[in-house]
Amino acid sequence: MKSAAFVAALAVLVGSAAGISAVVRSLGAHLTKLPIQPKDERQHTIPREIKGWPDPDTGWCQQGQDRDMTAEEAEELGTGDTISRAYIECGPKVGPKPRVILLHTAYYTGMIDTVPHVPDRCLTAAGTQLDGPTVEVAVPIDMSLLSPDPWADTAKGVVYRMRNHTIQRHVRLPRGVENLRMTMTPFKDKTGRRFFAGYFFIANGGVVASANGVRLLAFRLQDDYAYYLKVQFTIYDVETAEGAGQMAGEMLNSLFPELALRVPDWVEVEAGNYPEKTGGQASPPG
């Protein structure tokens, strides 16, 4: 009797699993994700001098040396495709002294349900003191520098293109840059100096301000691939989170094409043109 009950229960489970698989296939859903890499560039190749756009006499120049991670830090971060670099305002200064921005980017791919390393979690764990609430702020991009891409499908939103003095061609940006927002947290360092740490993510051809938003954007069931790029700024010498967002936007007016080159072109991915298929390549997961 017990054996018969076990067999019956097993049959129900097997039947249910088969039914779920059929539903997943009918919906075109992919419960696992393939990794995908940018076509050419990686994070460490971001230029050491980011000339202002459209005025090349302004911009941001590297200050000091890149911070190299140890093997342990790379393992903890979960990726080796990353950069941590300080930039100082070069050319005419906005204030009485050149402003400084610390840029950190980290590229992840193929993982699902991953919680990204973000400053409002990591810095407090390292002993840095919180100095106020975490908020979302607008990051204004100069829309006069952008042009709509005539080849992109606008059903999901307009895709804008942008170029700078280093990249002499238009590069597709992720969808949503016209409404870009950033999660911003105020801190005090060990000397008592106040600063803001802010971040957003580029994920599967879009932008989001929160770690939770990455899961919704990068791990959609209909997508074969998954990636996200964390873009983080550390900013001193501003009074408010909104001011920090404004300063990040100033840098992104020249930096964004560089970031866009270091993630997959999602218009090409959605069109099936990238990654290029080869005879021995496995089919997308299902």
Read off the pTM. Answer: 0.84
DSSP for the chain, please give it.
-HHHHHHHHHHHHHHHHHHHHHHHHHHT--SS-B----SS--GGGS-SEEE-SS-TTSEEEEES---PPPHHHHHHHT-S-EEEEEEEEESS-SSSS--EEEEEEEEEES--S-----HHHHHHHTTPEE-S--EEEE----GGG-EE-TTS-GGG-PPEEE--SS--S-EEPPBTGGG-EEEEEEEE-TTS-EEEEEEEEEETTEEESSHHHHHHHHT-TT-SB-EEEEEEEEEES-SSHHHHHHHHHHHHHHHHHHHHHTS--HHHHHTT-SSPP-TTPPPPP-
Q: Where are the domains of the chain?
A: 34-270
From first to last of its 286 residues, the chain has per-residue pLDDT tens of 545 554 454 444 444 434 433 433 443 444 578 999 999 899 999 999 999 888 888 899 999 999 887 778 777 788 889 999 999 999 888 888 999 999 999 999 987 656 667 876 666 656 689 999 999 999 999 999 999 999 898 888 899 999 998 888 899 999 999 999 999 999 998 889 999 999 999 999 999 999 889 888 888 888 999 999 999 999 999 999 999 999 999 999 999 999 999 999 999 999 999 998 764 443 333 3
Give me the pLDDT at residue 112, please: 60
